[in-house]
Chains A and B, each alone.
Chain A
C-alpha cells in the first residue's frame, strides 16, 4: 500500500475515533447504584443469558419486576463453576443490594460460604437446599412437576381415537441421569399414571447425559417399539432425541421445564412445566413487601410453581381428559391428595388413594 495513503487513513481514523469517543460521553450513562429503589443482584449460571431456559426465565422475571415493582437489578454471568464465589462476594461486598439471587445447585456451596461471611446480606437460591440464617432456599417438588403430566398420559394412552395412540396400555419416561432429583421426577410421573390408570405399564430409560440426543433417540425408539405411545422426557438437551423419535415412530411425547410444546407441536402433547419466572417474581415481591423470609421453601402444584401445559400443541386432547386432570390438580391443591416421595412408596400409596 502507498505509505502516504496509509498514513492519511490512520490519521483520519484516529481523529474520528477520538472525536466520537469524547462525544460519546453523553451517551448511556452507567448507574452506579445510588438510587433508593430496591436493588437485586443475580448471579446467573455458566450457561448465561440466551439459554432459552433457566437464565432467560429468571432474567425475564426480573425485567417484569423492574416494570411492575419498580425495582432495579444487576446481573453477572460467571464463566466457570469455579467463579461463583468471586461473583457472590463481589455483589455482597459492594453492599448496595437488598437481595442477591442465585440459580441452581452448582452455585450452592459457594453461596453458603459467602452467606456465612455476610450475615447481614439477604440471599435467595432457587433449585438448591442451602440452610443458612440469611438464605431463602427455594426448591421445587419434582414429583409434583411430573405428576399431572403422568395423570394426563395415563388417561390419553387409553384414548385410541387419537391418531398415534395404540391399543397397548403402555407409556414411558426418559431421564437424563440416575440421580435422586430425577428419580423423584420418575416417582411423580409413575404415581400420576398409575393413580388414574392402575393397569398401565411404565417403561423407563436413563440416558446418562444431558447432551446426548442420539442416545436418547435410540432409547425412546425402542420404547415406542415395545408399545409405548407417550414418552415424557426429563433429560435436558438429550430430550430433543425423544421428540425426534416420536416423529419417526409416530408416537407422542411430553416435555419438561419451560413449555416445549412448540418444538414439535404434532408430537408433543404437553409439558410438565416449571414456572421459574413466577418463583423469582414472587420472591422479589415478598422482598418489596418486607415479607421476605430466610429458610427452606418448597414450591409445588399448590403455589402454581409447577404443573402442566397443553398450550401450543396441535394435538387436541378431549375435554374430558383435561377436566379429569384439573380435578386431580384440585385434590392436590386442597391437600386431599399428597404425593408419594419415592418409587418404593407408590404401591402402598395407590392402595390408600383410590381414584375419587
Chain B
C-alpha cells in the first residue's frame, strides 16, 4: 500500500493533481461500477444510492446510526494501520476484537462494587491487554520461529472466535435466557450513551482518544520512529541498531490492543454482554478502512465513518429496497480496489488530460 502512495505522488506531483482528487475519483468509479451490478440485477442504481444516502445521513437517527456503525470500524482500521506501519500484515484483528470483547465482558460482569471511574478503565485495560497479548503471540512466533504473520493471524481468528464461542455456550453462559451470552456487565462498567434511545456510546470518543495516543507515539516518540523504520526497511533498521524483534512484538501488541478496545467498546457501549458471534466482521473490515486512507492512522477516523455510513445505508437499503446487503458490500470492496489501484485511476485521468490538451 505504501508503495502505491509513492507512485501516486510521482504520478501527480508534477501534474498538480492531488491525492484527494484521485481518492474522490476512485469513489465515483466504485459507485459507477457498483451501479452496473445493481442494474444487472434489475435495481435502479440511483434509487439504491439515494436509499443508502438516506439511511446514512438522511436524518438525525440515521447519522447517529452511521457513527454507531463506524465506531468498531475505526478501531479495527486503526489496528490494521498501526501493524502495517510496522511492516506487519495483521489480518487477525477480528480474533483480537473477540478476545478483547470477551475479556471486557468478564471483567465487567465478575468484578463487583467498584465505582465507574475505576471499573471502566479496568475493563478497558483488561481488553487492551488481552487483545494485545493475543496479537503479540503472532509477533513472537514470527521473530522466534519465522512463521508468516498472515497465516498465524488468520488461524488465530478461528481459535479466538471458537474458543470464546465455547466458553460462552458452556461454562460462562448466562443461565437466564436461552441465548449464548455472558452475564450482563455491571452498570459501573457501561460506557455512557449520548442519547438514551440510541446505541451510540462514548466508545467513539475513546476511538478518537486512541487515535490521538497513536499519533503521539508515531510522531513524537522514538518508539514510533523505530516502528516506521522497521516497517519501511528491516535491514536498514537493524543496521541502525534498532532491535527489530522487539519492535515487531511491540507493534503487534499495540495493534491487538487497539482491536481489543474495539471489542470492548461493543460490549461496554452496545450489547452490555459478550454475545456469541457478535461481530459481523468488524475486524476484517478494518483492512478496507485502513487501505482507503493509505494506512494513515489519523485518517482512519474519517474512513471509518465513511464505511460506517455505507453500513448504516446498507441496513436501510436492505429494508426498503429489498436489495440484499451483500450488494452494498460489493460497493465497499470496489472502493478499496480502486483506491488500491492508483495506476488505473491515473490512466483514466490521463485520458481526460490529453483530450484537454488537444
Contact = CB atoms under 8 A, between A and B. Distances in A.
Interface of A: 3, 6-7, 10-11, 14, 17-18, 20-21, 24-33, 41, 46, 74-83, 85-87, 89-91, 93-94, 105-106, 108-109, 117, 128, 179, 181
16 contacts: A7-B351, A14-B32, A17-B33, A24-B35, A27-B42, A33-B320, A41-B319, A74-B322, A76-B319, A80-B279, A81-B275, A85-B199, A86-B65, A86-B68, A90-B316, A117-B197
A28 B45 CA distance: 10
B159 interface: no
Interface in B325-358: 325, 347-348, 350-351
Interface of B is mostly: helix
B216 to A, nearest CB: 32
Contacts of A79: 280-281, 325
Contacts of B48: 30
A29 B319 CA distance: 14
B42 A31 contact: no
Ranked 4 nearest A-B pairs via Cβ: A82-B278, A79-B280, A80-B280, A30-B47
Interface string B308-332: 0000000110111110110000000
Contacts of B316: 90
Given A27-B43, A77-B325, 13 more contacts: A3-B347, A7-B347, A11-B351, A17-B32, A20-B36, A28-B43, A30-B321, A46-B277, A75-B319, A85-B270, A91-B319, A94-B320, A128-B178
Contact of B276 (A41, A81, A90, A105): A81
B39 interface: yes
A31 B325 contact: no
B351 A10 contact: yes
Given A30-B48, A117-B197, A179-B178, A81 B36 contact: no
A29 B44 contact: yes
B270 A21 contact: no
Contacts of A90: 65, 315-316, 319
Interface in B52-105: 61, 65, 68
A181 B65 CA distance: 36
Contact of A109 (B61, B179, B276, B315): B179
A281 B280 CA distance: 31
Interface in B24-53: 32-33, 35-36, 38-39, 42-48, 50-51
Contacts of B348: 10, 14
